[in-house]
Amino acid sequence: MFLNISPDILLHKYSKSGETLKYIQALGLQPNQVIIELTENAQTLDYQLMRDATHHYRNMGFEIAIDDLGEGFSGLRLWSEIRPDYVKIDKHFTQNIHLDPVKMQFARSIQEIAAKSGAKVIAEGIETHEQLMAIRDLGIAYSQGYHIARPHADPLHQASPDITNQLVRFEIERENLLQNRATVEKLLKQMAPVGPQCHNEDVFKMFDENAELYSIPVVLDGKPVGLINRSVMINDYARPFRRELYGQRPCEMMMDKSALIVDKDTSLKDLSDLILQSKPHHLSAGFIITENTQYIGMASGHDLLRLITKMQIDTARYANPLTLLPGNVPISEQIDSLLQSGTPFVACYCDLDHFKPFNDVYGYKKGDEVIQKTGQLLSDACGPYDFVGHIGGDDFIVLFQSRNWESRCDTLLSHIAKTFPSFYSAQDQTNGGITTQDRQGDQRFHPFISLSIGALIVDSTLYHSHHEVSTACVNAKKQAKAISGNSLFIERRSPQESMVEMAA
């Protein structure tokens, strides 16, 4: 249950300690069932008092949320100060979000910050199917609005089957092959935690008996509240009389309350960025891993560095050196992975038209710029679960799992048409292309570079390997190249029908 509270009320000098707890317990609720939702309507806040107040509520077992992020005066600052468990995006930014790239980018940025800070994002004001799909494709897991359910005194315990079916995802993460999408879960190690009331002497004995134990997590009611680092505790215990004075005191006095806590689904890239932005000791102390805010284990900075190094070596080995996009090996592996999982996807073979004469006239450096720009535009056209690979030369492949893949292709072709003429000289732009001499000495005119896309809607029951998919994609690409200008050809024939035509 979300309980709306103004920050001003939370900090009011006449507020009685423990009153909120009494009220909810009188209703038969426990703190772990209630989320304190701070409404963003104050122009000024005492952030130190706010941190103290939210810490007080968290210690009782409540979670904290910020309401209407983006509407009021201090949302981002408040987020940074109190590190809420939930963040609600104001409905202004979700209305028609599927039609507004700026709103889409705003929501995407909020989701990225939330992933790094361990918060969950809730999108408010979802009133249409299109808005819900846009939010879903951004990776935002929670939403509210009339499209999902209307307010009711006796609210539904689960969404209607229609909504559930809309939200069903068959996509698999690109992390299976693009290892820069790998998550913290790959580093997870089981480690028994202690409670905040555990004696310092008991914690010291745990370190003394296990020389490889670098840190011990402190957990209260399943949620991590801090971390005790080996070197910090042993150094403290080495001081005169510290063991005698504090051995029987609760270990929470020794713990680092600012320990790094990340969700298991946080990408390794985001974790690396988070560590670089935090204090240096987090790398040696390690970090706590959670699932839905519940403690599940730990990982060390050493393990993170080792895995990232391995990923970088593998990525460099198989990436195209010009665009740094995955090359043929990861492309084949990704296709096979999608087929084996039974995941619906669309394979789009993308090939530039009139690129060779452009390269001959303007030189390889300018040609490389066109190839790099193509890779960028293809990547920009993709959703979070889509895959872009560089086959070589001016050939690319996109494996779409986004359901709106066709509109993404149309948008891509529109951007290509607007962008590529700028690579030509002013005179050639006026002429609409370039004129070259063929091998017979005849003059030939070549229009601006364009993109041909051959799209294959892949049914995993009909295609069984990346070889079969790539063969069908090549045929679809040939059909697209037969169309003048920027084009999209969708292969709707069965593999057998397509092969018969190729043989003919």
Tens-digit pLDDT string for the chain (504 aa): 888 877 666 666 556 667 777 888 888 888 888 888 877 555 556 778 778 878 888 888 888 888 877 555 456 777 878 888 899 888 888 888 887 877 888 888 888 888 777 788 999 999 988 888 888 877 788 888 988 888 877 777 777 777 766 665 444 444 443 444 578 888 999 999 999 999 999 999 999 899 889 899 999 999 999 999 998 888 888 888 888 888 999 999 888 888 888 898 888 877 887 777 777 777 778 889 999 889 999 998 888 888 888 777 776 778 898 998 999 999 998 999 899 878 889 999 999 999 999 999 999 999 999 999 999 999 999 988 899 999 999 999 999 999 899 999 999 999 999 999 999 999 999 999 999 988 888 899 999 999 999 999 999 889 989 999 999 999 999 999 999 999 999 998 776 666 555 555
Residue 158, phi-psi category: left (phi > 0), alpha (psi -120 to 50), beta (remainder): beta
Which residue's entry shows tokens 């069984």?
464
Residue 204 burial (C-beta neighbours within 10 Å; 0-12, 13-18, 19+): buried
Q: What pLDDT score was predicted for residue 3? A: 81
Same domain membership, residue 489 and residue 367 = yes
DSSP code, position 127? -
In a domain? residue 137: yes
Same domain membership, residue 349 and residue 278 = no
Same domain membership, residue 486 and residue 375 = yes
Same domain membership, residue 139 and residue 197 = no
Q: Are 302 and 293 in contact (CB under 8 A)?
A: no
Contacts of 150 (CB under 8 A, 6+ apart): none
Task: Please identify, among 137, 171, 205, the residue that sits at the C-terminal boundary of a domain.
Answer: 171
In a domain? residue 289: yes
Kindly report the CATH number assigned to the domain that includes residue 370. Answer: 3.30.70.270
Same domain membership, residue 496 and residue 407 = yes
Q: Which of 98, 266, 108 is nearest to 173 (CA)?
A: 266
Task: Please identify, among 118, 143, 171, the residue that sits at the C-terminal boundary of a domain.
Answer: 171
Q: What pLDDT score was predicted for residue 430? A: 96
Same domain membership, residue 456 and residue 350 = yes
In a domain? residue 315: no
Range of the domain at 254: 184-307
Q: Which of 471, 398, 468 is nearest to 174 (CA)?
A: 398
**CA 339, 343, 346, 350: dihedral to nearest 10 degrees?**
-60
In a domain? residue 266: yes
| Identity at 472, one-letter amino acid code | A
Question: Cα(79)–Cα(279) distance, rounded to whole angstroms?
Answer: 19
Same domain membership, residue 490 and residue 360 = yes
Q: What pLDDT score was predicted for residue 122? A: 92
| Identity at 298, one-letter amino acid code | M
Helix (H) or strand (E) holding 236: helix 230-237
In a domain? residue 116: yes
Same domain membership, residue 460 and residue 334 = yes
In a domain? residue 384: yes
Q: Which of 396, 364, 368, 361 is nearest to 381 (CA)?
A: 396
Same domain membership, residue 100 and residue 51 = yes
Q: Are 428 and 373 in contact (CB under 8 A)?
A: no
Same domain membership, residue 123 and residue 22 = yes
Helix (H) or strand (E) holding 288: strand 287-291
Strand partners, 399: 347, 387
What is the number of domains present in the chain? 3
Three-class DSSP labels, 314-383: HHHHHECCCCCCECHHHHHHHHHHHHHHCCCEEEEEEEEECHHHHHHHHCHHHHHHHHHHHHHHHHHCCC
> pTM for the full model?
0.51
Kindly report the CATH number assigned to the domain that includes residue 118. Answer: 3.20.20.450
In a domain? residue 314: no
Same domain membership, residue 271 and residue 234 = yes
Q: What pLDDT score was predicted for residue 198? A: 95
Q: Are 452 and 351 in contact (CB under 8 A)?
A: yes
Same domain membership, residue 189 and residue 157 = no
In a domain? residue 178: no
Helix pair angle (466-481, 495-503), 10° resolution: 60
Task: Please identify, among 125, 144, 171, the residue that sits at the C-terminal boundary of a domain.
Answer: 171
Kindly report the CATH number assigned to the domain that includes residue 278. Answer: 3.10.580.10
Q: What pLDDT score was predicted for residue 41? A: 57
Which residue's entry shows tokens 């199917």?
129
